Structure 1
């Protein structure tokens, strides 16, 4: 358990489970709520969007949400849990594309050519809001904020992938990964940069294009420099400012 400011130990906050909304408010992990509320919409005004939602799951750890080559019909907004996306190379090696937390959307990269280009696999017990994409597209044509938010989410996903494609050091890649993940957990209400790594070290290494041994060495170095506290899968960023500076070549190219 990681130390807090009082010197006591406590377990890390987990990403909150989705709390159902009501006639006026969106679900707490709704992938569209922040954009819609910011634009002045409430749930009553977006009743059509709400009617598109189908709750699916839970998917157990290791279960496929969809597989590469499946026909694209839906996008999946994570309600609880975590998902990884991956492809299999011609050499049989796995390549991890990304990790998705509650309120984030999986499947946007399948819009063209209307087939999922990757597998999506639950890393822990995971539930989703599933949206029919043809129905979503029709709604987006009539409600601009929905289209704008879809494009923003797609742009963000493409942007992070391009950042990792750059010529960065192992320390920069790992720092960027931890800062980005910590910021996403913080937006979900997790406190003090204290979160749990649901993915394996091998998945992290694969995603960052590093060897597993390199990931272990970098994390050990960060721990020795008092940048992070690590116990098993529990992580706390002890000096987010220094860590953000180290990550800046990746996050702010």
Structure 2
């Protein structure tokens, strides 16, 4: 029998279902998907959802809060490979080896929905829209990794951070949050780790962007004050890449 705490939590009343697997499903299909989903207990800051080597049994859809995925290099140093927000699906990197390849850890209190993959895969054969949505999520993740590789290999420190802020703004807007003002759940050190920059560089660039009137920074609160200037800088990045 379902946990009483789960009675009010369903795909039908989730404010992020338009970003998640149910986006293209009809009412009957959503109800079938809803039946297999297990709503996990809240993860608190620093709690780990999965670890490298954990057997792959499920995908996880972020319902609230945020998480980071990271791997450790040979020296035991952390390398962040992604940040996850509501509507994101976690666990695709485990498909090939049938085990998780990275740590995923909560950046703040977060809730996830667990989707048992074996059952989900059988459902995807029956519901073609669900299979298409799964493939779409995997394709988006591959593209995101490609974009990140290009960013780290070809871009200056300024371009990396500008892209990161613009991308965050877009992701928050997609989730119905403000794209102009948002709190960073990750630290500057974590942003630097992800972008291949030192925390000093992150702080220096944020100060410069603030002096230029592009953003305002108050602790972890970021306010984008001039989207035109941000877009112009990003456009010049695109032009430069085409010229190169």
Cα distance in 1 for partners of 2:190, 2:134 equals 27
CA contact (8 A) 2:62 2:89 kept: yes
Q: Which residue in the other structure is 1:12 paired with? A: none
Q: Does 1:134 align with 2:121?
A: no
Distance 1:72-1:192 versus aligned 2 partners, 3 A rule: closer
Deviation at 1:196, TM superposition (A): 0.7
Q: Does 1:209 align with 2:178?
A: no
Distance 1:21-1:50 versus aligned 2 partners, 3 A rule: closer
Deviation at 1:147, TM superposition (A): 1.4
SS in 1 for 2:27: coil
Cα distance in 2 for partners of 1:245, 1:49 equals 43
Gaps of 5+ in 1: 1-18
SS in 1 for 2:16: coil
Q: Does 1:73 align with 2:88?
A: no
Q: Taking structure 2 as the reference length, what is the TM-score of the superposition?
A: 0.87
Deviation at 1:247, TM superposition (A): 3.2
Q: Does 1:93 align with 2:93?
A: no
Deviation at 1:220, TM superposition (A): 1.1
Q: Does 1:109 align with 2:96?
A: no
Q: Which residue in the other structure is 1:171 paired with? A: 158
1:177-196 residue pairs with structure 2 within 5 A?
A: 177-196=164-183
Q: Does 1:226 align with 2:213?
A: yes
Deviation at 1:20, TM superposition (A): 4.0
Q: Which residue in the other structure is 2:3 paired with? A: none
Report how many residues are paired.
Answer: 227
Deviation at 1:124, TM superposition (A): 0.4
Q: 1:243 aligned to 209, 227, 230, which one?
A: 230
Q: Which residue in the other structure is 1:46 paired with? A: 30
Cα distance in 1 for partners of 2:176, 2:207 equals 27
Q: Does 1:123 align with 2:110?
A: no
Out of 69-78 and 42-51, give the one that drifted further.
Answer: 42-51
Cα distance in 2 for partners of 1:51, 1:237 equals 41
Deviation at 1:102, TM superposition (A): 0.7
Cα distance in 2 for partners of 1:245, 1:133 equals 43
Cα-to-partner distance string for 1:34-53 (whole Å, 9 max, x where unaligned)? x31xxxx3333332211111
Cα distance in 2 for partners of 1:159, 1:172 equals 19
Distance 1:45-1:154 versus aligned 2 partners, 3 A rule: closer
Cα distance in 2 for partners of 1:102, 1:126 equals 9
Compute the RMSD of aligned alpha carbons: 1.8
Gaps of 5+ in 2: 1-7
Deviation at 1:239, TM superposition (A): 1.6
Cα distance in 1 for partners of 2:100, 2:232 equals 36
SS in 2 for 1:112: coil
Cα distance in 2 for partners of 1:181, 1:84 equals 14
